[in-house]
Amino acid sequence: MAVAIDSRIKNFRAYDVAARRAEVAGQTGLTDADIQTFEPGAGLTIDQADRMVENVIGVIGIPVGIATNFTINGKDYLIPLATEEPSVVAAASNAARIARGLGGFHVSSTQPIMQAQIQVVDVLDPAAARIRLLEARAELIALANEQDPMLVSFGGGVQEVSVRLVTAPEQTYVVLHIHVDVRDAMGANAVNTMAEAIAPRVAEIAGGRVVLRILTNKADLRLTRVRAVFDAELIGSPEVVDNLIHAVRLAECDPYRAATHNKGIMNGISAAVLATGNDTRAVEAGCHSHAVNADGVYSSLSHFEKDADGNIVGTLELPMPVGLVGGATKVHPVAQAAVKMLGVETAEELAGVIMAVGLAQNLAAVRVLAGEGVQRGHMGLHARNIAATAGAEKHEIDAVVARLVADKKIRVEHAVEVLAELRGGN
């Protein structure tokens, strides 16, 4: 079993891959077999992949990096992030360091309530149909719960039904929602099964015909919140801190900036969701549906304010429909090792970790934008790729990168010239 984790690992970046694996295994209790799943070619087998989706011809490798420095509700985590984008892992770790001294991240959640919708069309008396359906609440809940006795035995199941009238130009649809406590599941299968099972009875009571019976990804009854205080001195100069607030205000008021700002949040969230085998699109759809503010305008998902000490308080509240049971989380060996590394015991705990990464990622991006801009950092990483493309060996890469950056010519042709020079000893 894992011992208490200390996520503050100095200079983790400078470790080689083997040393990083040893550090993570030592801290989290991952076995050699668990660690081995992260080796390209040793994770998801072709047979497992063939059972997961159709027409399989292979698997794609995505780097998994470890975000350090995270303290969440007083507990340290080493967080696996699966992403193809440079800077995401470093940025999240950096922002977590800035929050660490001031208590780290504080997370809380609602109950894990997912909803499915049943759409009834051609109803003559939609208002009365709504009332008839609500009168049948107990019958509908019992019928739905019969579909999943296991979930009910774990304390989950249908908690409520609600009925909405949605007026389209052609007619008013009667839309019944079931609100289901899905416990540690993402919940799509459970709520879809229930919705399909009760649909005929819903049609009968409403006096119409059912078309859709499917989960809504607007999981606004399954919210997770995160709050952290970021140390102004570690963020940068007073000017950077003030610029950061301006940058965030623009995201709150301008959909063009909000989309990019929110993309920064999703850089962290999707990477953690993917590493744990959860459904990235479900989470993304839920988060984006939450980005419309009270005035009906697409806006920033996060908020940053200055506190009395001049530090920056960041907050984020989002639907976070992730699970620990079922789906790829249970069958994908790398996802299983990732969950084990995190040591999370409930889907709620996992949701909190993911949200902390999202907030950290966002702060880190906006901090860089408020200061030197993203290109300088990106250029170094871009130069590494160019050096490798030009054929530089591992031991040559640093020297080639240094020259490309110094010459401000980050192009493959130049990397080839530099490499030839270095190899020729000129």
Query: Which residue's CB atom is positioned nearest to ligand MEV?
Result: 264
Comparison of 59 and 374: residue with beta carbon closer to ligand MEV: 374
How far is 338 from 263, CA to CA, in rounded Å? 23
Q: What is the dihedral of CA 324, 325, 329, 331, to 10 degrees?
A: 150
| 8 A C-beta contact, residue 248 and residue 255 | no
Comparison of 87 and 278: residue with beta carbon closer to ligand MEV: 87
User: Which one of 199-207, 326-334, 365-373, 384-392 is the stretch in contact with ligand MEV (CB under 6 A)?
Assistant: 365-373
Comparison of 89 and 328: residue with beta carbon closer to ligand MEV: 89
How far is 94 from 194, CA to CA, in rounded Å? 44
How far is 21 from 175, CA to CA, in rounded Å? 51
Q: Which two tokens stand for residue 146?
A: 């019969």
Beta strands in 241-333 (DSSP E): 302-306, 312-319
Q: Residue 299: how many CB atoms within 10 A of its CB?
A: 22
User: Which one of 39-47, 168-176, 227-235, 263-271 is the stretch in contact with ligand MEV (CB under 6 A)?
Assistant: 263-271
Burial grade of 167 (CB within 10 A; 0-12, 13-18, 19 or more) = exposed
Is 267 one of the binding residues for ligand MEV (CB under 6 A)?
Answer: yes
Burial grade of 271 (CB within 10 A; 0-12, 13-18, 19 or more) = buried
Q: How far is the CB of 255 from ligand MEV (least distance, A)?
A: 14
Q: How far is the CB of 317 from ligand MEV (least distance, A)?
A: 18
Is 210 one of the binding residues for ligand MEV (CB under 6 A)?
Answer: no
User: Which one of 20-28, 41-49, 118-126, 361-369 is the stretch in contact with ligand MEV (CB under 6 A)?
Assistant: 361-369
Long-range contacts of 295-300 (CB under 8 A, 24+ apart): 297/255, 298/255, 298/258, 298/259, 299/251, 299/252, 299/253, 299/255, 299/258, 300/248, 300/251, 300/252, 300/258, 300/261, 300/262
How far is 321 from 357, CA to CA, in rounded Å? 15
Is 264 one of the binding residues for ligand MEV (CB under 6 A)?
Answer: yes
Active-site residues, by number, are: 85, 263, 279, 378
Q: How far is the CB of 250 from ligand MEV (least distance, A)?
A: 10
Q: Of 296-315, which residues contact ligand MEV (CB under 6 A)?
A: none
Taking residues 52 to 91 in sequence order and writing x for each that binds ligand MEV by CB under 6 A, - otherwise, the string is ---------------------------------x------
SS3 208: coil
State how far Cα 47 lies from the chain centre: 27
Q: How far is the CB of 86 from ligand MEV (least distance, A)?
A: 9
Q: Binder to ligand MEV among 209, 263, 330, 376 (CB under 6 A)?
A: 263
Is 240 one of the binding residues for ligand MEV (CB under 6 A)?
Answer: no
Is 376 one of the binding residues for ligand MEV (CB under 6 A)?
Answer: no
Comparison of 263 and 411: residue with beta carbon closer to ligand MEV: 263
Signed CA dihedral, 144, 147, 150, 153: sign only:
positive
**271 vs 64, 95, 210, 383, CA distance in Å?**
9, 16, 37, 23
Q: How far is the CB of 378 from ligand MEV (least distance, A)?
A: 9
Q: Binder to ligand MEV among 322, 365, 383, 387 (CB under 6 A)?
A: 365
Q: Binder to ligand MEV among 261, 332, 367, 403 (CB under 6 A)?
A: 261
Q: Binder to ligand MEV among 49, 331, 369, 381 (CB under 6 A)?
A: 369
Is 374 one of the binding residues for ligand MEV (CB under 6 A)?
Answer: yes
Q: How many residues in the shown chain lie near ligand MEV by CB under 6 A?
A: 10
Q: Which residues sit at the interface with ligand MEV, rule CB under 6 A?
A: 85, 260-261, 263-264, 267, 365-366, 369, 374
